[in-house]
Every structure is written in C-alpha cells, then in structure tokens.
C-alpha cells in the first residue's frame, strides 16, 4: 500500500465516494471512487476521467456477475439487468490508479480489466489476506471482537479467500480500512455515499433499494477506526 500512498495527495480531506448518493461531484485527486460511483461526476468527452478507482474483482468475471444470487426484492432478470448496466459503465472510465481487491492472479485480473474496457495507467492489487489481516489487527487493537469473526478472518487469511458476506466489509469500508494505515493520522476522511440505505446505479443513477449485507460489520469497523482518526459522513440518505 505504500506505493498507493505516494500516488495520493496527503492532505485533508480524503474523500471516499460510494454509490449511496446521487448528487453530481467533481473529480479530485484526493477522491477515491468505489466501484461504479464515478458515474456521479460529469463525463469528460466520451469517458469519465478520474485519478483513483477502488473496486472489487467480481466485476472482472462476467459469468460470476450473471450467476450471482438475485438482489433481495428483485427478480433474477431484474438483478442481471442492474448488474450488467454496472459492468457496462466500466467501459466509459479512464483512471490513473486502479486498485483491486482480489485473491486471483495478476494475469487473470489484467485480462478481466481489459475485457471491461477500463483505461488505466497503473494497476495495484490488494490481496484478500491483506484485507482480513487488517480487520483482525483492528479488532485486537480495540479489544472489541466477536469470536466468529476472528475465526472467519483467520481462515480467509490462511486460504486467501472471501468469507461469507456477513464477515466481509463492503468495498468502500475495505478502502477506508486500507488507507487508514497509509495516510497521516491528521488527514480527515469523508465518506460520501457510503453506509447509505440507498444505492444509485448506472449512467442515470437509478435508485435500487436492497439490504446491505455488510452493514453490521461496516459499522463495527467504522467505530474502531474512529478511535484513531476523524471520519465524517456525507450524503448518508442519498439526498442533497
């Protein structure tokens, strides 16, 4: 993560942008866009142009996207349509630094990213082990933990794979967790559209309401991180 740190402007605030808001934002070198949240800025010509994109590797495997369990409250076909629209958005973005969370090989990821049509200058891969090691360290540091979570994280570290959804942070909180250790403690974090009850997907920012399976773990991680850094929330209800 030190290489990622050098690509960022180490000043306050560092903004993490998620899909839980629908207001238009400006591109900033000090903003980290999560998954397809870059659709919240104005396109530059035919593409969205951003400095930092942090994404889950699931989007690089189209079969995994299509075969995924239906979004609660939506049919399989509706869920497929929503997810494919998200996937198609990646062909419209140009990014300086692309950061992927994955347990897969770099070669596989490069092929997957190329298939999405993302234009990028550099790609950095964060291993699943790194994510869950940091979850474990935070839990032990704060002396506030659940044995089931510890066991799930230890297993994920050993086999370098994802635990069940309730033991996984959202992509947005994974980004916050990782950058929390690389940025100076004086840097304030702002979460814009993360930990929101709403989600806005696609080029038209269509609202999709569904249960956030990561909500409880995200809240737990936020509580722990806030002991050591100022973290502010913005647009938690998806409104101005």
Identify whether the C-beta of residue 186 lies closer than 8 Å to the C-beta of residue 11.
no
Judge whether residue 198 has pLDDT over 90.
Answer: no
As a three-state string, the secondary structure of 173-203 is HHHHHHHHCCCCCCCCEEEECCCCCCEEECC
Q: In terms of DSSP H, where are the helices of 58-119?
A: 62-67, 76-89, 106-116
150-166 pLDDT, tens digit per residue, is: 999 999 999 999 999 89
Residue 8: pLDDT over 60: no
Average pLDDT of the segment spanning 183-193? 90
> From the CB of residue 236, how many other CB atoms can be counted at a distance below 10 Å?
16
Pairing of strands 199-201, 206-208: antiparallel
Q: What pLDDT score was predicted for residue 7?
A: 44
Under 8 Å between Cβ of 131 and 169: yes
Asked if the model's pLDDT at residue 94 lies above 60, the reply is yes
CA dihedral 224, 229, 235, 237 (to 10 degrees): 20
Higher-confidence residue of 229 and 198: namely 229
Which of 97, 91, 102 minimizes the C-alpha distance to 43?
Answer: 91
Structure tokens at 122: 């550099």
Predicted confidence (pLDDT) at residue 116 exceeds the cutoff of 70: yes
Q: How many helices (H) and strands (E) does the chain have?
A: 8, 9
- The model's confidence at residue 6, banded by pLDDT at 50, 70 and 90, is very low
**Percentage of the chain lying above the pLDDT 70 cut:** 90
Contact 17, 34 (CB under 8 A): yes
Q: How far apart are the first and last CA of the chain?
A: 33
For the chain, give the mean pLDDT. 86
What pLDDT, on a 0 to 100 scale, did the predictor assign at position 86? 85
More confident residue, 82 or 129: 129
Average pLDDT of span 13-28:
89
pLDDT tens per residue across span 24-80: 888 888 999 999 999 999 877 789 999 999 999 988 888 887 787 887 778 888 888
């Amino acid at each position: 993560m030190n290489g990622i740190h050098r690509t960022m402007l180490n000043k306050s605030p560092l903004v993490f942008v998620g899909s839980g808001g629908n207001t238009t934002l400006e591109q900033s070198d000090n903003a980290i866009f999560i998954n397809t949240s870059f659709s919240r800025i104005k396109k530059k010509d035919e593409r969205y142009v951003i400095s930092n994109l942090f994404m889950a590797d699931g989007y690089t495997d189209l079969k995994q996207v299509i075969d995924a369990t239906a979004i609660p409250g939506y049919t399989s076909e509706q869920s497929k349509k929503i997810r494919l629209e998200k996937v198609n958005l990646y062909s419209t973005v140009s990014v300086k630094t692309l950061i992927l969370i994955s347990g897969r090989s770099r070669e596989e990821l490069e092929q997957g990213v190329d298939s999405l049509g993302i234009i990028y200058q550099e790609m950095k891969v964060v291993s699943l082990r790194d994510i869950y090691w940091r979850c474990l360290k935070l839990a032990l540091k704060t002396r506030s933990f659940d044995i089931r979570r510890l066991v799930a994280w230890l297993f994920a570290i050993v086999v370098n794979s994802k635990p069940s959804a309730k033991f996984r942070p959202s992509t947005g909180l994974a980004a916050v967790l990782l950058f929390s250790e690389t940025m100076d403690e004086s840097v304030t974090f702002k979460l814009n559209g993360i930990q929101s009850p709403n989600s806005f997907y696609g080029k038209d920012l269509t609202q999709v309401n569904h249960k956030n399976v990561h909500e409880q773990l995200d809240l737990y991680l936020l509580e722990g991180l806030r002991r050591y850094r100022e973290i502010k929330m913005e647009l938690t209800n998806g409104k101005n």
